[in-house]
């Protein structure tokens, strides 16, 4: 008695069956969608399976040792008298299971199919960390699927303008009562950062995810902003179970009761882009169902359209530095659209699972492709204790020092060996199994380091180890993290200073990765650096894991865990250098001579220009004169901008109120007035920028 589980898997919308090979990486690994996966999963004519036992077929192992076979759920019908039947057959009880008989056309021996039965109790155990009721998204404007595109655009621009004004006041020395001090500036920045986090939460999924991405960019934003934005991870409200059920049924094209033996309405987790429900398949397999927030694609389209305009404005404005804001926007937009494609996430999970198939202490959930689509993802239920829950870990007697080391070691394997890494390893995405294995969740944000990039990163590591600033700069240029401007002498000095300070410390005094991130932010403000998102994800991930390590074990040392891997790389490099040391030195001297020769015409030209300016009297010293007058003028402009913002916001609220009441004339007038005041705010900002440019010219 048995047949292979899921021996036939159906592409949704297709009449052709595909054979599934159970090799252990997903429930239907043949289904990573060669061809048009959207067309395959977009059809409403999806077909699901229920468990069936067959007496005549040879015995083959199924899930957990059971002999099972799956048949299309469309064959299951109900008689009018309420008795379960398949093709009109009457139900039977065999070995305690409620099964029904189905005979073929020629009257051959029957097959027995498990019939739906009334639920007598939960098949799901209580969650490892107990039941936790998540906050609801009701009351948030972005949770309404019928929100106005105009109103949403107004909300986005109001937020950006308000943030810009706050940042200007934070950086204005004249705006501090009793005089400017760095402590006062940090305190005010913390207040602005707290306001920023709350505003981002109010703006909803797009900005929550962008906030999380921004928390990885220590090279772009102050430490206060990065710290506050990192707190967005666990403060995301859930949407209603009714919405979740409707959405699942719409996406998968079948009723919940037909797909699942049990479905838990209360989500066990909620993220910025979706939430997770526990469920049980009809074959008894415990799973989790990740459901995307309804209307998310429309919200993304509106928000990213406005953010593109904002990025283009930042790019043209010198007051926002020399960062490639349009490039940063494009990176973020690509990541966001990839994250709402759950087929892509399922592929990531399968690949990540294959990478760690030979490492027993890393667990990755299986993907159930037959119950997944573009906006719904079904995974194996793998419960565990969150990696930062110290009391729960201690109660189970887990070795916290070993867990900390394993978390770092697993990430080193991803970066240095497989090249495919989890880009968001915060505590909500890491858990500990009963055997102290590391469990990974959420594979929407993954990074990949190509072979060329990995080779260059290793070269960068060697050059940092050798404290060779020129090599570091060359590798950074190859990695497109440094823009090759005309004269890089000042950059080389900054890099050399960074290397001297980083490597001159004893192991006990080594900087944390978070502090290194701060140094990168400080350097990138004045130098032509542009760190790719891959780098920032890696730095942020290691910084997060290092923090988790210190929480788990106060004596934790990142250097000690990474030392064997670093030594392995150094030994490999030394073996490659064996017998070629002299050749390498000669080549290095030749490269240095070539670089000096090529840069000589540029240096001579600079000297000639300097002498000409000196002769003509055009050379000016940068001195600060009449600074107080310019500061007063700037203060007046900013005060007017603040007043314009308040008036514009007031008219905007009046317009929204009258618009809801049906008074279109008054509402339209208020919107026009709000637009005028917002234009005045932008004009004021331009005047401030002109004053800044004039100040730089003096």
DSSP per-residue codes, 40-79: HHH-S----EEEEE-SSSPP---GGG---EEEEGGGEEE-
Q: State how many domains the chain has.
A: 2
Residue 394 is assigned to a structural domain of this protein:
yes
Contacts of 381 (CB under 8 A, 6+ apart): 278, 286, 287, 288, 365
Looking at residue 308, its pLDDT comes to 92
Whether the per-residue pLDDT at 291 is higher than 50: the answer is yes
- State the average pLDDT over residues 659-666: 79
Burial of 151 (C-beta count, 10 Å sphere; 0-12/13-18/19+):
middle
Residue 469 is assigned to a structural domain of this protein:
yes
Whether the per-residue pLDDT at 315 is higher than 80: the answer is yes
Separation of alpha carbons 237 and 271, rounded Å: 8
Q: Could you give the C-alpha distances from 314 to 321, 322, 327, in angstroms and in order?
A: 8, 9, 11
Q: Are both 449 and 571 inside the same structural domain?
A: yes
Decide which of 623 and 618 is more confident. 618
pLDDT band at 5 (very low <50, low <70, confident <90, very high): very low
Q: Which of 109-118, 386-395, 593-602, 627-636 has the highest mean pLDDT?
A: 386-395
Residue 648 is assigned to a structural domain of this protein:
yes
Q: Are both 642 and 533 inside the same structural domain?
A: no
Q: Are both 518 and 414 inside the same structural domain?
A: yes
Domain residues for the domain of 655 are: 621-698
Low-confidence winner among 111-125, 338-352, 629-643 (lowest mean pLDDT): 111-125
pLDDT band at 6 (very low <50, low <70, confident <90, very high): very low
Q: Are both 566 and 643 inside the same structural domain?
A: no
Separation of alpha carbons 106 and 635, rounded Å: 93
- State the average pLDDT over residues 197-214: 86
Q: Are both 586 and 625 inside the same structural domain?
A: no
Could you give the 3-state DSSP secondary structure of residue 526?
helix
Q: Are both 657 and 568 inside the same structural domain?
A: no
Residue 496 is assigned to a structural domain of this protein:
yes
Residue 685 burial (CB count, 10 A)? 20
Whether the per-residue pLDDT at 693 is higher than 60: the answer is yes
Q: Are both 496 and 570 inside the same structural domain?
A: yes
* Segment 84-113, tens digit of pLDDT: 433 333 443 333 334 334 444 334 443 444
Residue 340 is assigned to a structural domain of this protein:
no
Contact by Cβ (8 Å): 84, 90: no
Separation of alpha carbons 210 and 202, rounded Å: 13
Q: Are both 519 and 422 inside the same structural domain?
A: yes
Q: Are both 585 and 647 inside the same structural domain?
A: no
Residue 147 is assigned to a structural domain of this protein:
no
Whether the per-residue pLDDT at 677 is higher than 70: the answer is yes
> 550, 570, 590: which is the final residue of a domain?
590
- Closest Cα to residue 157, out of 696, 695, 685? 685
Could you please report the per-residue DSSP string of 164-221? HHHHHHHH-GGGSTT---HHHHHHHHHHHHHHHHHHHHHH-HHHHHHHHHHTT-TTTS
Residue 312 is assigned to a structural domain of this protein:
no
Residue 139 is assigned to a structural domain of this protein:
no
Contacts of 179 (CB under 8 A, 6+ apart): none
> 590, 613, 632: which is the final residue of a domain?
590
Q: Could you give the C-alpha distances from 488 to 177, 474, 482, 496, 672, in angstroms and in order?
A: 40, 11, 10, 12, 50
pTM: 0.62
User: Which of these is catalytic: 137, 155, 424, 442?
Assistant: 424
Whether the per-residue pLDDT at 116 is higher than 50: the answer is no
Looking at residue 226, its pLDDT comes to 80
Chain-wide mean pLDDT for the chain? 72
Q: Are both 507 and 583 inside the same structural domain?
A: yes
Looking at residue 427, its pLDDT comes to 83
User: How many angstroms separate the first and last alpha carbons of the chain?
Assistant: 90
Burial of 675 (C-beta count, 10 Å sphere; 0-12/13-18/19+):
middle
pLDDT band at 352 (very low <50, low <70, confident <90, very high): very high
> 548, 570, 590: which is the final residue of a domain?
590
Active site residue 399: no
* Segment 12-55, tens digit of pLDDT: 333 333 333 333 344 443 444 444 444 444 444 444 544 433 33
Whether the per-residue pLDDT at 458 is higher than 70: the answer is yes
Percent of the chain with pLDDT over 90: 21
Q: Are both 651 and 579 inside the same structural domain?
A: no
Q: Are both 669 and 578 inside the same structural domain?
A: no
Looking at residue 625, its pLDDT comes to 42
Decide which of 101 and 157 is more confident. 157
Exposure class string for 77-100: b at 16+ Cβ within 10 A, else e: eeeeeeebbbeebebeeeeeeebb
Looking at residue 622, its pLDDT comes to 42
* Segment 167-204, tens digit of pLDDT: 888 888 888 888 888 888 888 999 999 999 889 888 88
Contact by Cβ (8 Å): 547, 514: yes
């Amino acid at each position: 008695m048995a047949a292979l589980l899921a021996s036939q898997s159906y592409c949704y919308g297709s009449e052709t069956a595909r054979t599934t090979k159970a090799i252990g990486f997903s429930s239907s690994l043949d289904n990573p969608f060669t061809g048009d996966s959207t067309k395959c999963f977009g059809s409403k004519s999806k077909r699901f399976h229920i468990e069936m036992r067959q007496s005549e077929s040879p015995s083959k192992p199924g899930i957990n040792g059971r002999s099972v076979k799956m048949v299309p759920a469309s064959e299951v019908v109900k008689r009018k008298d309420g008795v379960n039947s398949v093709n009109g057959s009457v139900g039977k009880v065999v070995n305690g299971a409620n099964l029904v008989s189905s005979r073929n056309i020629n009257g051959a021996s029957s097959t027995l199919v498990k019939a739906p039965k009334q639920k007598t109790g939960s098949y799901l155990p209580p969650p490892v960390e107990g039941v936790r009721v998540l906050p609801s998204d009701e009351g948030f404007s972005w949770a309404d699927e019928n929100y106005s595109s105009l109103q949403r655009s107004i909300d986005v621009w109001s937020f950006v303008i308000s943030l810009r004004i706050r940042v200007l006041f934070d950086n204005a020395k004249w705006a501090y009562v009793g005089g400017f001090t760095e402590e006062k500036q940090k305190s005010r920045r913390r207040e602005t950062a707290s306001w920023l986090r709350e505003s981002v939460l109010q703006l909803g999924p797009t900005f929550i995810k962008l906030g999380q991405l921004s928390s990885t960019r220590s090279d772009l934003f102050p430490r206060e902003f990065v710290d506050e934005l990192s707190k967005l991870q666990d403060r995301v409200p859930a949407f209603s179970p009714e919405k979740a059920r409707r959405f699942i049924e719409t996406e998968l094209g079948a009723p919940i009761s037909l797909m699942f033996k049990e479905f838990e309405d209360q989500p066990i987790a909620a993220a910025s882009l979706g939430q997770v429900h526990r469920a049980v398949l009809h074959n008894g397999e415990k799973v989790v169902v990740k459901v995307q927030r309804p209307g998310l694609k429309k919200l993304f389209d509106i928000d990213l359209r406005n953010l593109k305009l904002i990025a283009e404005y930042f790019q043209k404005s010198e007051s926002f530095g020399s960062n490639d804001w349009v490039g940063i926007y494009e990176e973020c937009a690509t990541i966001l659209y990839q994250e709402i494609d759950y087929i892509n996430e399922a592929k990531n999970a399968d690949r990540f699972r294959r990478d760690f198939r030979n490492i027993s202490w890393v667990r990755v959930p299986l993907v159930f492709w037959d119950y997944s689509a573009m906006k719904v993802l079904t995974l194996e239920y793998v419960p565990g204790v969150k990696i930062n829950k110290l009391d729960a870990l201690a109660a189970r007697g887990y070795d916290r020092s070993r867990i900390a080391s394993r978390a770092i070691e697993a990430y080193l394997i991803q970066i240095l060996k497989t090249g495919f890494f989890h880009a968001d390893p915060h505590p909500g995405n890491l858990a500990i199994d009963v055997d102290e294995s590391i469990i990974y969740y959420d594979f929407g944000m993954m990074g990949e380091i190509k072979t060329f990039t990995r080779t260059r990163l290793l070269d960068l590591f060697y050059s940092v180890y050798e404290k060779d600033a020129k090599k570091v700069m060359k590798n950074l240029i190859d990695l497109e993290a440094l823009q090759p401007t005309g004269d890089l002498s000042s950059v080389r000095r900054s890099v050399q200073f960074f290397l001297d300070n980083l490597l001159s410390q004893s192991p006990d005094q080594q900087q944390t990765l978070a502090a290194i991130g701060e140094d990168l932010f400080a350097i990138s403000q004045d130098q032509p650096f542009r760190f790719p998102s891959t780098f920032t994800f890696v730095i942020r991930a290691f910084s997060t894991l290092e923090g988790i390590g210190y929480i788990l074990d106060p004596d934790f040392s990142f250097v000690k865990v990474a030392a064997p891997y670093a030594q392995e790389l150094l030994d490999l490099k030394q073996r490659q250098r064996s017998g070629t040391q002299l050749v390498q030195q000669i080549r290095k001297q030749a490269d240095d001579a070539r670089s000096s020769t090529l840069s000589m015409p540029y240096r001579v030209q600079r000297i000639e220009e300097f002498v000409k300016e000196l002769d003509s009297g055009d050379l000016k010293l940068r001195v600060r004169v009449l600074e107080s007058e310019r500061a007063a003028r700037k203060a007046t402009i900013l005060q007017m901008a603040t007043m314009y913002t308040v008036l514009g916001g007031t008219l905007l609220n009046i317009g929204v109120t009258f618009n809801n009441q049906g008074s279109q004339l008054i509402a339209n007038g208020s919107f026009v007035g709000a637009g005028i005041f917002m234009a005045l705010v932008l004009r004021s900002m331009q005047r401030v920028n002109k004053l800044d440019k004039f100040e730089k010219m003096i």
